[in-house]
C-alpha cells in the first residue's frame, strides 16, 4: 500500500530547508547503506549525525506527528530520525530492500522498519528522472511528488530511484515502526479510520453509526497493537 500525504511542508518551509541544505557540505550516500545496497547506491547525503540534519529532521517529525493522515496510515510507535539525500545528474539507487532493523548511534533508538517514507524537497519539473519506483502486488508503481509532499510505502518492498538526467532530486527519507506490525491489519485499520472520518463528517461524531464504527476501530487496535 502506497499512501501519498500532501503538504507535510509548505512551499515556504521547503524553500527554507533547501536554502540551508544547498549551503551545506554533503557526503557519499553509501555511508548509510547496507552491504548489498551500497553496490547500487550512488548519491549524496547530509552527514547523518550533523547538526543540520538533526535540526531539520526534528522539524519534520514535529510536522508528521501532527498530521492526521500520517497517524492514520502509520499508527507510529517509533520514527527514525530523518535523513536527507541528493541525486545530481547520473546519480541513482538501484533495486534494493531497506534494512529490516535500523539503529541510531546518537539516541540509541533501534527500530524495526515497517514503513519507509520519502518527503520530496524538489519540484518535479526541476529535474528529469529520479522517480521512486516501488514493486507492489499490482506491478511497479512510480512516484514523483510535488515538493513538500510525502509518500509512505512498505519497507519490505523492493524499490529503486531512477537515474537523474537533469537537475537535482533532493528529499528526506526515514523509517517508521508501526504499532500494527501486520501490514494487512494496518491497511484494514487505515481504511476503517478513513471511513469513520467520512461518516463523522456526514452524520456527526455522536451518531450511533460513528460510535459503532469507532467501537470496531478501537477493538481492532487493541487486538493488533504492540506497545
Residues annotated within a binding site = 96, 98, 159, 169
User: Of 71, 74, 93, nearest to 83 (Cα)?
Assistant: 93
CA distance 118 to 13: 16
For 53-88, give one letter per residue: b (16+ CB within 10 A) or e: bbebbeebbebbeebebbebbbbbbbbbbbbbbbbb
CA distance 151 to 132: 10
Work out the number of other CB atoms within 10 angstroms of the CB of residue 44: 18
Annotated binding-site positions for Fe cation: 96, 98, 159
Could you tell me the three cell numbers for 160? Answer: 529503486
CA distance 215 to 87: 46
Q: Where are the beta strands (DSSP E) in 44-126?
A: 44-45, 76-79, 83-87, 92-96, 101-103, 110-112, 115-120
CA distance 198 to 141: 27
Annotated binding-site positions for 2-oxoglutarate: 169
Do 97 and 158 meet the contact criterion of CB atoms below 8 Å apart?
Answer: yes
Work out the number of other CB atoms within 10 angstroms of the CB of residue 41: 22
Amino acid at each position: 500500500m502506497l499512501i501519498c500525504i500532501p503538504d507535510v511542508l509548505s512551499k515556504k518551509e521547503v524553500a527554507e530547508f533547501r536554502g540551508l541544505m544547498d549551503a551545506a557540505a554533503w557526503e557519499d550516500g553509501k555511508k548509510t547503506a547496507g552491504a548489498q545496497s551500497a553496490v547500487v547506491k550512488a548519491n549524496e547525503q547530509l552527514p547523518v549525525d550533523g547538526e543540520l540534519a538533526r535540526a531539520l529532521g526534528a522539524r519534520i517529525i514535529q510536522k508528521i506527528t501532527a498530521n492526521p493522515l500520517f497517524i492514520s496510515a502509520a499508527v507510529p510507535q517509533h520514527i527514525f530520525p530523518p535523513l536527507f539525500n541528493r541525486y545530481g545528474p547520473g546519480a541513482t539507487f538501484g533495486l534494493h530492500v531497506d534494512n529490516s532493523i535500523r539503529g541510531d548511534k546518537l539516541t540509541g533508538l533501534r527500530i524495526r522498519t515497517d514503513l519507509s517514507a520519502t518527503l520530496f524537497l524538489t519540484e518535479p519539473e526541476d529535474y528529469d528522472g529520479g522517480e521512486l519506483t516501488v514493486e507492489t502486488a499490482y506491478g511497479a508503481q512510480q512516484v514523483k511528488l510535488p515538493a513538500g509532499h510525502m509518500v509512505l510505502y512498505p519497507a519490505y518492498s523492493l524499490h529503486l530511484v531512477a537515474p537523474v538526467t537533469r537537475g537535482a532530486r533532493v528529499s528526506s527519507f526515514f523509517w517508521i515502526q508501526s504499532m500494527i506490525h501486520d501490514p494487512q491489519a494496518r491497511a484494514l485499520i487505515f481504511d476503517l479510520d478513513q471511513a469513520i472520518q467520512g461518516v463523522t463528517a456526514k452524520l456527526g461524531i455522536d451518531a450511533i453509526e460513528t460510535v459503532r464504527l469507532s467501537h470496531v476501530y478501537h477493538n481492532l487496535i487493541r487486538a493488533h497493537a504492540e506497545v
